[in-house]
Amino acid sequence: MCGERCVTHRRKKTISCNIMYATTTAAPFAQLSPDCILNALDSAGFHCDGRLLALNSYENRVFQFGQEDGSLYVAKFYRPARWSNAAILEEHAFLQELVAAELPVVPSLADRDGNTLHEYKGFRFAVFARQGGYAPEFDDPDTLQRMGRIHAIGALTVYRERATLDVASFGEQPRDYLLAHGFIPEDLREAYADVVEQALGGIRRCYDRAGEVASLRLHGDCYAGNVLWAEDGPHLVDFDDSRMGPAIQDLWMLLSGDRQERRIRLNHLLEGYETFFDFDSRELHLIEALRTLRLIHYAAWIAQRWDDPAFPLAFPWFAGPTFWQERIQELREQIDAMAEPLLEVA
């Protein structure tokens, strides 16, 4: 998002609407001006016809652009230092595997030399075809039955360069960062430290109950906003958070509503899911644990990017006591949720 709403750029003229390109040296995208974007695209053989639209994105900078034949594409400029080149290329290779299996994903496009990752003046970027669509109706059983098909391919091999979703990387390390860097108001610091430690204890108990579950290549951030429904079914987009982890990570975010509604949706989902891949029911122990890890990680994710001027603009409430009071209460609720009986599957 980074403060920008839209920008239409032409070579000799820039027309902007509520666009903010930060100029501080701390900003990772400070030099990513419209001219830089267009020159970067040109360098990779993707020639913009003047239509350039900034899309909402926090982690990276993402732009829709047009070409002279009328087609639309999306360029993603990766946040510096987040992933290595090898890790990004692993994601791109996974997408190609899914495409080869005729699964509905949007792969990165290769240039005339076969490269899917490009670099220009220190910025790494990839280009994707623009995928149209609308949010799926998750009350529709047919929609739910068509989700999760990537796992049969994801289980065929492992990531060697990308991270794994586990208690250390999504819970302990984020907790340590938050407590060490002064983001939590002093009068709430002890309460947060206490509740996050209790939450981590509950997470570990969930993992103990689940036992040794398989880890595979995931989408990693499979919430409704990353699923676009088109005429030929759901298309999964934005594999930027793809990593190793338990299969349930790509399923639990598709479950919403009260307990009974979540149970019904889970059963609909698994009806279609198990057509392609066996589901290990022990992973049901991890649903609330993974939700709790996501909450802990989310707060640290904002903190770790606070030097990016886009983040104080987008999250002005982050530094105030209300945000942390709500996080403390949220974690208390999750401690109770992790102790509840499992959702039942047919």
| Structural domain for 317, as ranges | 141-337
Is residue 238 annotated as a catalytic residue, yes or no?
yes
Look at 40-49, 131-140, 331-340 and tell me which has the smallest mean pLDDT.
Answer: 131-140
Return the amino acid letter for 125: F
The residue out of 95, 129, 163 marking a domain boundary is 129
Task: Determine the Cα–Cα distance for residues 82 and 178; give it in Å rounded to an integer.
Answer: 18
Q: Is the pLDDT of residue 205 over 90?
A: yes
Residue pair 287/343 in contact by the 8 Å Cβ criterion: yes
The residue out of 73, 95, 129 marking a domain boundary is 129
Residues 154-184 have pLDDT tens digits of 999 999 999 999 999 999 999 999 999 999 9
Is residue 221 annotated as a catalytic residue, yes or no?
yes
Q: Is the pLDDT of residue 141 over 80?
A: no
Pair (160, 58) in one structural domain:
no
Cβ–Cβ contacts within 10 Å for residue 102, how many? 7
Domain membership flag for residue 343: no
**Higher-confidence position of 262 and 136:** 262
Residue pair 239/91 in contact by the 8 Å Cβ criterion: yes
Pair (86, 176) in one structural domain:
no
Pair (159, 63) in one structural domain:
no
List CB contacts of 148: < 8 A, sequence separation 6 or more: 247, 250, 251, 269, 272, 273, 276, 277
Pair (207, 291) in one structural domain:
yes
**Whole-number Cα distances in Å, 278 to 128, 133, 265:** 31, 29, 17
Domains identified in the chain, total number: 2
Pair (61, 121) in one structural domain:
yes
Pair (49, 191) in one structural domain:
no
Domain membership flag for residue 321: yes
Task: Determine the Cα–Cα distance for residues 122 and 146; give it in Å rounded to an integer.
Answer: 40
Domain membership flag for residue 280: yes
Residue 187, pLDDT score: 96
**Whole-number Cα distances in Å, 277 to 100, 270, 324, 345:** 17, 9, 40, 16
Fill in the DSSP letter of residue 134.
B
pTM value?
0.88
Q: Which of 35, 140, 166, 221 is catalytic?
A: 221
Mean pLDDT across the chain, nearest whole number? 88
Q: Is the pLDDT of residue 126 over 70?
A: yes
Pair (263, 154) in one structural domain:
yes
Return the amino acid letter for 17: C
Q: Which of 49, 140, 238, 278 is catalytic?
A: 238
Pair (225, 327) in one structural domain:
yes
Pair (117, 205) in one structural domain:
no
- Which residues are registered as beta bridge partners of 121? none
Residue 236, pLDDT score: 85
Domain membership flag for residue 344: no
Q: How confident is the model at residue 142 (pLDDT cuts 50, 70, 90)?
A: low
Pair (284, 165) in one structural domain:
yes
**Whole-number Cα distances in Å, 340 to 125, 264, 344:** 44, 17, 12
Domain membership flag for residue 346: no
Domain membership flag for residue 135: no
Residues 25-43 have pLDDT tens digits of 468 999 999 999 999 999 9
Q: What is the DSSP string of 154-166?
A: HTSS--SSS-B--
- CATH, residue 45: 3.30.200.70
Pair (201, 325) in one structural domain:
yes
- CATH, residue 246: 1.10.510.10
Q: Is the pLDDT of residue 290 over 50?
A: yes
Pair (15, 117) in one structural domain:
yes
Residue 203, pLDDT score: 98
The residue out of 129, 157, 190 marking a domain boundary is 129
Domain membership flag for residue 345: no
Domain membership flag for residue 342: no
Residue 143, pLDDT score: 65
Average pLDDT over residues 37-62: 94
Q: Is the pLDDT of residue 223 over 90?
A: no
